[in-house]
């Protein structure tokens, strides 16, 4: 099937007898092809050719339903009409009759919103209804009579982390299958289909539409098209960007921070070696499709205020990649299982944006193995993060960049080859870089100045970070405004005065610098004065 890694797995594992119970998760509300949802697709492509006697659907809000009236009659016959008044009953009441049908005929049973039936909570916190449902669903997966009858159970959930982990234990035979978002070719095929079926006006080609809609489901793409028709405007780059931001923030904004950078490498003073490395080893290889050169992850080490976060924003702008930030304050929840559920959603949301830069600030405090006192939440999230960052299938598609000023506190499992395997020191700027930073910041804010040579100021700011130089420039503007509110100009005298009033405040700069140097394994990324220091280590 052109559409379906998940479908191929589903069909192969059923036909081989490996399992007859599946849990589809993530993008389960989307169209599988141009017009069919998952349930209809599985029926027409798989169930109908194999002559399943009964196809039934269940969720706790709509109860038990059947594909055709004849299938309902067959179910009533098998259950001696005892269940005919229980179709809206909770699982504990209707599942015993489902059990009978699964064992006595070839039945396909779809259960939607399974996370509402067996939620991800400790068994001790489950209601009696939830425990009984869990027992039925677990036992069905290993029941030989159900397998012999040829029946199949398909559960669906938006978020795998919302489903009880008990059902995925190795003692049961429930197969989880990720239903991913459409890739670029699938989006292009769907967009072409929409354009053929409508009078939609566009200012972009189908190929451009497909590229711009990365990270969106087909339903979301259809929504963009419908909104354009409703507003009687053509689909343009700006229209797609605006609607896409709205859709993504609605879908993932509770667990991910989306970054829309406005500055590029040209807006960052200094860091020439680092910028050159990122262009040659990240931006160009990804655009050319040669992912072998791209590191799995990049760790930016160095004192606070040296521009690590700024560099990530500039890389996102220079590359044109999507960029998201993992913010644990959005993920940690107060209820059991909520944090793990949010983090799973966070990772899937990031994955959907590829090619994407995933930024983690202060990673030494963000991801730790955790203590026993937090009920294993930190450990579970840390383990999930390790698995995700170590997946080599993500190379060049998901670029992890983390920042820290204390790499010595980072868990060694994160720093090993195959995860954050490139450590780049971001250190105090050199004299020439400081002069450039003065010029860049003044231009950034549009301040008036009659200074053309910033080297004298660079000489006086030897221990200043880039952030502290920015504070000097802003202080200079305050002084200039006080002296001449109508026409503030950053003169030499004003800048000298600002430097005298603003002293560097970054703590433990020497320690953080040495820790960053200790992590660095590539001398090509170091300023010349540090190369000898690294060689002696």
Please report, for the domain that includes residue 467, its CATH number: 1.10.8.60
Examine the domain organization and report whether 278 and 131 are in the same domain. Answer: no
Q: Which helix (H) or strand (E) holds 413?
A: helix 412-415
In a domain, 532, yes or no: no
pLDDT over 60 (residue 3): no
Q: What is the pLDDT of residues 303-315, one digit of tens each?
A: 988 889 999 999 9
The reply to whether 326 and 285 lie within a common domain is yes
Domain co-membership, 244 together with 135: no
Q: What is the structure's pLDDT at 205?
A: 93
Number of domains in the chain: 4
Are residues 226 and 361 part of one domain? no
Which residues, other chains included, contact 203 with Cβ-Cβ below 8 Å and sequence gap of 6+?
A: 234, 235, 236, 237
Per-residue pLDDT band for 491 (boundaries 50, 70, 90) equals very high
> Are 354 and 391 in a shared domain?
yes
Q: Of the candidates 132, 157, 179, which is a domain's last residue?
A: 179
SS3 at position 272: helix
Q: Do 14 and 131 lie in a common domain?
A: yes
List pLDDT tens digits, range 235-293.
Answer: 998 899 888 888 888 888 878 888 888 888 888 888 888 999 999 999 999 888 888 88
End residue of a domain, out of 179, 198, 217? 179
389 plus 355 within the same structural domain:
yes
Say yes or no: 166 and 188 in one domain: no
- Alpha carbon of residue 405 to chain centroid: 24
Domain boundary among 199, 227, 251: 251
φ and ψ of 37, to 5 deg: -80, 175
3-state secondary structure of 256: strand
Q: What is the CATH number of the domain that holds 212?
A: 1.10.8
Within a domain: 529: no
159: in domain: yes
Range of the domain at 274: 265-425
Is 392 in the same domain as 458? no
* Selected residue with higher pLDDT from 371 and 86: 86
Same domain membership, residue 333 and residue 463: no
User: CA-to-CA distance for 426 and 300, rounded, in angstroms?
Assistant: 6
Place of tokens 């229209």: 239
What CATH number does residue 400 fall under? 3.40.50.300
Q: Which residue has the tokens 């080609």?
A: 205
Q: Does 242 reside within a domain? A: yes
Q: Are residues 281 and 173 in the same domain?
A: no
357 and 286 Cβ atoms separated by less than 8 Å: no
Question: Quick check: 504 pLDDT over 90?
Answer: no
pLDDT at 261: 83
Look over the chain and give the mean of its residue pLDDT values, rounded to a whole number.
89
What mean pLDDT is predicted for residues 507-522? 83
Residues 150 and 226 in one domain: no
| Mean predicted confidence (pLDDT) in 456-461 | 93
Asked if 302 and 516 touch (Cβ cutoff 8 Å), the reply is yes
Greatest Cα pair distance, the chain, in angstroms, is 97
CA–CA dist 104, 96 (Å, integer): 13
pLDDT bucket at 359, cuts 50 / 70 / 90 = very high
Dump pLDDT digits (tens) for 126-167: 999 999 999 999 999 999 999 999 999 999 999 888 899 899
Q: Is residue 67 part of a domain?
A: yes
Residue 516 lies in a domain: no
Main-chain phi, psi angles of 23, to 5 degrees: -125, 100
Q: What is the mean pLDDT of residues 370-384?
A: 73
* pLDDT, tens only, 186-242: 999 999 999 998 888 999 999 999 988 888 999 999 999 999 999 999 999 889 988
413 inside domain: yes
In a domain, 515, yes or no: no
Pairing mode, strands 322-326 and 256-258 = antiparallel
- pLDDT at position 336 is 60
Which 3-state string (H, E, C) describes 301-358? ECCCCCCHHHHHHHHHHHHCCEEEEECHHHHCCCCCCHHHHHHHHHHHHHHCCCCEEE
Residue owning tokens 């194999």 = 50
pTM exceeds cut of 0.85: no
pLDDT given at position 2: 40
pLDDT > 70: percent of the chain:
96
């Amino acid at each position: 099937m052109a559409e379906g890694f998940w479908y191929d797995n589903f069909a192969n594992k059923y036909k081989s007898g490996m399992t007859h119970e599946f849990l589809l998760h993530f993008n389960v509300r989307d169209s599988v092809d141009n017009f069919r949802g998952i349930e209809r697709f599985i029926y027409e492509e798989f169930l109908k050719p194999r002559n399943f006697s009964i196809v039934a659907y269940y969720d706790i809000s709509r109860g038990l339903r059947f594909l055709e009236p004849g299938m309902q009659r067959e179910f009533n016959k098998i259950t001696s009409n005892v269940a005919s008044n229980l179709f809206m009953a909770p699982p504990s009441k209707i599942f015993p009759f489902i059990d009978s049908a699964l064992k006595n005929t070839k039945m396909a049973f779809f259960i939607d919103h399974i996370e509402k039936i067996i939620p991800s909570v400790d068994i001790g916190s489950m209601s009696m209804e939830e425990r009984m449902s869990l027992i039925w669903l677990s036992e069905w997966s290993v029941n030989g009579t159900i397998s012999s009858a040829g029946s199949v159970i398909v559960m669906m959930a938006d978020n795998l982390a919302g489903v009880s982990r008990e059902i995925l234990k190795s003692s049961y035979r429930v197969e989880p299958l990720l239903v991913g978002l459409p890739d670029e070719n699938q989006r292009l095929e769907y967009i072409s289909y929409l354009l053929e079926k409508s009078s939609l006006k566009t200012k972009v080609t189908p190929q451009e539409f497909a590229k711009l809609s990365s990270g969106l489901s087909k339903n979301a793409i259809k929504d963009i098209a419908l909104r354009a028709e409703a507003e009687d405007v053509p689909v343009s780059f700006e229209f797609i960007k605006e609607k896409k931001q709205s859709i993504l923030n609605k879908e993932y904004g509770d667990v991910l921070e989306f970054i829309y950078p406005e500055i590029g490498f040209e807006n960052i003073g200094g860091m020439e070696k680092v910028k050159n490395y990122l262009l040659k080893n990240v931006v160009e290889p990804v655009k050319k499709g040669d992912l072998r050169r791209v590191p799995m992850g990049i760790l930016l080490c160095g004192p606070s205020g040296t521009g690590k976060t700024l560099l990530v924003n500039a890389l996102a702008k220079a590359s044109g990649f999507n960029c998201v930030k993992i913010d644990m304050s959005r993920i940690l929840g107060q209820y059991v299982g909520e944090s793990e559920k949010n983090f799973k959603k966070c990772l899937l949301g990031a994955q959907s944006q590829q090619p994407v830069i995933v930024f983690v600030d202060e990673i030494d405090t963000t991801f730790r193995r955790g203590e026993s006192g937090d009920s294993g939440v930190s450990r579970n999230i840390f383990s999930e993060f390790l698995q995700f960052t170590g997946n080599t299938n993500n190379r060049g598609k998901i670029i992890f960049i983390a920042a820290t000023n204390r790499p010595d506190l980072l868990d060694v499992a994160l720093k090993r080859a195959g995860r954050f395997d490139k450590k780049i020191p971001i250190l105090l700027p050199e004299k020439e870089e400081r002069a450039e930073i003065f010029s860049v910041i003044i231009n950034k804010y549009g301040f008036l100045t009659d200074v053309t040579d910033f080297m004298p100021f660079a000489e006086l700011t030897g221990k200043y970070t880039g952030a502290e130089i920015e504070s000097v420039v802003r202080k200079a503007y305050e002084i200039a405004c006080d002296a001449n509110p109508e026409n503030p100009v950053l003169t030499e005298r004003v800048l000298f005065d600002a430097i005298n009033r603003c002293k560097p405040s970054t703590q433990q700069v020497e320690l953080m610098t040495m820790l960053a140097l200790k992590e660095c394994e590539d001398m090509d990324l170091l300023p010349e004065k540090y190369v000898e220091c690294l060689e002696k280590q």
